Amino acid sequence: MMSIYLLSTLWTWSIFVLHQKALILSQKIQKESGGKLVTTTPPPAAPKRATIGFVISLIAGILILINALMLFALRSVIGGLVPSVPGVVDVGALAEAMITLWGAVGLIFAIIVMVGALLIYMPGKETIGGVLVLVFSILSIVTGGGFFLGLILGIVGGALGIAKK
């Protein structure tokens, strides 16, 4: 029984001594650092974002979207201008259907380019966003490529997104 009491007393005393030594050491470090809190790990840095690639890709997506909407507007103009001749293939309806298809494809490409631009802005997803912007900007040449300026901006923005700039 006496040995258990001695062991517990010794244990308590050793913890007290270690605590005192740690306190003295921390006070010494605090004096050396001028009263500032010293940490070994720096605070976490804010995530880097590919802002330039995001902005350029978003502008490209908006230009491709405007181009697609212009195709839809052109569809209604073409349909009213071309007369239909009975007994002959309706050229106006065929032209209207083709322009509607091009406009829908352009709309899909514009949405995908803008989603890619948003992915470029998210840290860690810049590469996949850049690839989306790059591929669908190049494919948008089928529908006019956002007056070709959207195509060029999409290529530049996608490349900057892949480079994480």
Top pLDDT among 48 and 101 is at 101
Whole-number pLDDT of residue 97: 84
As a whole number, mean pLDDT of residues 59-82 equals 87
Cα separation, 123 vs 25, in Å, equals: 41
State the helix-helix crossing angle for 91-121 and 51-81, rounded to 10 degrees. 170
Greatest CA separation found in the chain? 118
Asked if the model's pLDDT at residue 2 lies above 60, the reply is: no
- Inform me whether the pLDDT recorded for 151 exceeds 70: yes
pLDDT at 11 over 70: no
Name the DSSP class of 19: H
pTM of the model: 0.71
Task: Please report, rounded to a whole number, the percentage of residues in the chain having pLDDT higher than 70.
Answer: 75
Structural domain boundaries in the chain:
1-44, 51-162
- pLDDT at position 69 is 94
Higher pLDDT, 45 or 70: 70
